[in-house]
Structure formats: structure tokens, C-alpha cells
Amino acid sequence: MNNIFHYVSPLGGITLASDGEVLTGLWFEGQKYYPQNLVAESSEVKLPIFTETVNWLDIYFSGKEPDFTPTISLNTTPFRKAVYDILLTIPYGQTMTYGEIANIIANQQGAEHMSAQAVGSAVGHNPVSIIIPCHRVVGADGSLTGYAGRLDKKTALLKLEKYEI
């Protein structure tokens, strides 16, 4: 059984998803890859993981860096999981390029090269926005390229973290 909870952020509605124990999704409502079917087939309930995640979001949207991360479980490919693990290492208020992430993945896999475009696809399909900070990934020249939640939200999230845009 899938469970959802709706959160109202300063940037619009956010849908949280859980299997009943851990966080399995967090999307801005209407963002690219928003799981319409999941939402339609889920029950809205109060769960401890939603309370914890709402606490995290409240701290984050108050302009502070949360000192904990809700427990997350991802049903994804090993490649995407590797990308998301790297995203979790990007410090609050800082960024990393798609190419830098591709280089880390290549080194981890003992490969000569990894496609920054493949990394971009994985980043775009991040099922736990904000907490897994895909908004902290920028283009090779530092430009704010792509964001499934829309570029205006990416800009707002980085400004909230006091990143110099």
C-alpha cells in the first residue's frame, strides 16, 4: 500500500510518498515525472516518516540546514542510486556539475568515461527532490540548467541556501 501526504511549501505544493515506514518520494506537484498514478492509487495518511519529513522541510524552508535526513528507500537502478548517493554529498549552499558527477561515477566503476547526459537523466528522475539535492547540480559553466520541478524553483532553492547565483 502506498501512502501520501501533501505539504504546502513557500514554493507550492509538495507530495510525499511512503511505503508506511520510510520516505519513497517527494515531488513538487506538477513537476516533470510527477507520479500521477501513484498519487491516484494511494491513501493520504499521517505517518511518523511524514512528520519527520515535514519537520525537515520546515527547517529547510526557514533558511536553515537540517541536521538530519529522513530515512529514504529508493526503488531505482544501481546507476541512478550511485548518482543519488553522490547528490547527497553535495554540501548545503554549494553545487556540483553533471560532468563532475560523471567523473566520480567513472572512477567508482573503473571506467575511462561516463556520460554527463546519462547523469543528467538520472538527476532529472530523482524521486526525492530537495532532500536528495538535485537542485544543486549545474551545467559545466555553472549555469542553472534543467530541473524537473522547473527552473524558477531551482533558483529559489539555491537562493534559500544563500548560493550566489
pLDDT of residue 38: 77
pLDDT of 36 above 80: no
Q: Strand, helix or coil at 104?
A: helix
pLDDT of residue 1: 61
- How far is it, in rounded angstroms, from Cα 94 to Cα 133? 10
pLDDT tier, 8 (very low <50, low <70, confident <90, very high otherwise)? very high
110-157 pLDDT per residue, tens: 889 999 999 999 999 999 999 999 999 999 998 888 787 788 999 999
pTM as predicted: 0.92
pLDDT of residue 148: 76
Beta-carbon contacts of 85 under 8 Å, excluding residues fewer than 6 positions away, are none
59-116 pLDDT per residue, tens: 999 999 999 999 999 999 999 999 999 999 999 999 999 999 999 999 998 889 999 9
pLDDT of residue 86: 98
Q: Strand, helix or coil at 129?
A: coil
Catalytic residue annotation = 134
Mean pLDDT across the stretch 25-30?
A: 92
Q: How far is CA 137 from the centre of its chain?
A: 10
Least confident of 31-35, 56-60, 76-80: 31-35
